[in-house]
Amino acid sequence: QVQLVESGGGLVQAGGSLRLSCAASGRTFSSSNMAWFRQAPGKEREFVSAISRSGGNAYYADSVKGRFTISRDNAKNTVYLQMNSLKPEDTAVYYCAAGLIFVRVGVRPNEYEYWGQGTQVTVSS
């Protein structure tokens, strides 16, 4: 069982920055691919970014590439999402997810078994 707790969301003006954190419980963190997804009102949950178990490989949705950076600290059981140059269209609930089953880093929600409760990010124009 893996429990994930996100933090760091909030209200920010367009062009600003936020850093999301996701703290994981349990001893399986370093064995998990980790990802961030987001869901805006009335829309499906969408992939934002993912990182491999070792942190050596990172993946980004085209919409956030060059603005967001994912990282992880396996000693602290934490994954981060640094979000810069935020836009109003980045407004959503952001979810952290952990995947143990698949070896490759996935970009679909069904490739992750464990989810956090989400943290709201609101970007004002």
Per-residue H/E/C for 49-106? EEECCCCCCEEECCCCCCCEEEEEECCCCEEEEEECCCCHHHCEEEEEEEECCCCCCC
Residues in the chain: 125
Identify the segments of the chain with pLDDT beneath 70.
none
Task: Please report the pLDDT score of residue 79 as a whole number.
Answer: 98
Task: Please report the pLDDT score of residue 27 as a whole number.
Answer: 79
Task: Please report the pLDDT score of residue 107 as a whole number.
Answer: 95
What percentage of the chain's residues is helix, strand, coil (to nearest 5)? 5, 45, 45
The answer to whether 1 and 56 have CB atoms below 8 angstroms apart is: no
90-99 residues labelled b (16+ CB within 10 A) or e (exposed):
bbbbbbbbbb
The answer to whether 92 and 73 have CB atoms below 8 angstroms apart is: no
Instruction: Copy the structure tokens of residue 10.
Output: 């909030």
Q: Cα angle vertex 97, ends 49, 18, to 5°?
A: 55
CB atoms closer than 10 angstroms to residue 104 = 11
Task: Please report the pLDDT score of residue 26 as a whole number.
Answer: 80
Residue 97 to residue 6: CA distance in whole angstroms: 10
